[in-house]
């Protein structure tokens, strides 16, 4: 059973094969209308369940379109449809869904929900996001960097802001793809130490630097994410803004990075908060390539899971 639960739980050779497959599928689609199917239909006859306990735009659309382009069909289920772990145990839901579908993607809150789904499902399970990690996003980010700048191995990636679930998957990827990673943000929002230690153990240079200008010196890639989530209270939002304002990605900060450094943001963004519009729309930015590549990277993940 090939689940895709986290980047650090997937072999580096398999990760590399997925990135290469995603790039090949993107190239094969160049110039063809968006609504047309791929030349090959590797998911023909396959049904994919897309479960969303957490709302989504990019994840929902990119997985749904990806399955359809590859000839499969989707069943989209919301948290209110399923009441995971309430009306029925997650284990029983996993067992039942496995009788109906060939693959499960779940976007949920607690990592424990994902892990229990994978433990009891008889079909592959993909992590579409949890509060702890977001591996599909980082697969798209690696793909995006490499199509613009070549191999990410040995490069310096700087994360500015909150040490959240997206950063966690960047730390996982640093160890698996061999790049260096610097976190710059307030101590109160530091990432989990275990994420950093694991990447260091695999040979990556992992640093925490409080001074954002110093942190981005020599950076090949600067990444940020939203400062607040839809579930934060007004008082929490104000507190986070006050802590994170010095780490805004703006033209002054990017001037300390390499002249050819890229800028990424997984979106949705609060423009002129975590990053200025001048950066998001400027020459360093590849945010819309990054968003598109969710489609291609996830198609490769699904094919790997199903062995097709």
Catalytically active residues are 107, 134, 137, 225, 266, 294
Q: What is the DSSP letter of 285?
A: B
Q: Which residues contact 280 (CB under 8 A, 6 or more apart)?
A: 263, 265, 269, 271, 287
Taking residue 2's Cβ as centre, other Cβ atoms within 10 Å add up to 13
**For the CA atoms of the chain, what is the radius of gyration?**
19
CA distance readout (Å), 268 to 72, 77, 227: 28, 22, 11
Taking a C-beta distance cutoff of 8 angstroms, is the pair 229, 259 a contact? no
Q: Which residues contact 202 (CB under 8 A, 6 or more apart)?
A: 174, 175, 176, 178
Quickly list H helices, 121-250. 135-149, 165-177, 193-201, 212-215, 234-244
């Amino acid at each position: 059973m090939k689940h895709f639960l986290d980047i650090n739980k997937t072999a580096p050779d398999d990760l590399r094969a997925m990135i290469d497959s995603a790039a090949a599928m993107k190239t094969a689609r160049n110039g063809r209308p968006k609504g047309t199917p791929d030349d090959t239909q590797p998911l023909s006859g396959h049904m994919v369940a897309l479960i969303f306990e957490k709302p989504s735009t990019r994840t929902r659309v990119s997985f749904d379109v990806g399955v359809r382009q590859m000839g499969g069909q989707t069943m989209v289920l919301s948290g209110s449809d399923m009441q995971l772990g309430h009306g029925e145990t997650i284990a029983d839901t996993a067992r039942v869904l496995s009788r109906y579908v060939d693959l499960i993607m779940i976007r949920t809150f607690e990592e424990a929900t994902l892990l229990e789904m994978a433990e009891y499902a008889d079909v592959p399970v993909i992590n579409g996001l949890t509060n702890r990690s977001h591996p599909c996003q980082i697969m798209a980010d690696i793909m995006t960097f490499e199509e613009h700048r070549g191999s990410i191995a040995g490069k310096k990636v700087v994360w500015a802001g909150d040490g959240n679930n997206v950063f966690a998957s960047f730390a996982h990827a640093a160890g698996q793809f061999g790049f260096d990673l610097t976190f710059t943000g307030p101590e109160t929002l530091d990432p989990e130490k275990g994420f950093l230690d694991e990447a260091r153990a695999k040979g990556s240079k992992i640093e925490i630097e409080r001074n954002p200008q110093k942190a981005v010196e020599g950076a090949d890639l600067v990444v940020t994410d939203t400062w607040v989530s839809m579930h934060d209270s007004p008082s929490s939002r104000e507190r986070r803004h006050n802590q994170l304002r010095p780490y805004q990605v703006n033209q002054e900060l990017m001037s300390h990075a390499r002249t050819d450094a890229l800028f990424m943001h997984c979106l949705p963004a609060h423009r002129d908060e975590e990053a200025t519009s001048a950066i998001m729309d400027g020459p360093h930015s590849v945010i819309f390539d990054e968003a598109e590549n969710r489609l291609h990277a996830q198609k490769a993940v699904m094919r790997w899971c199903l062995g097709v």
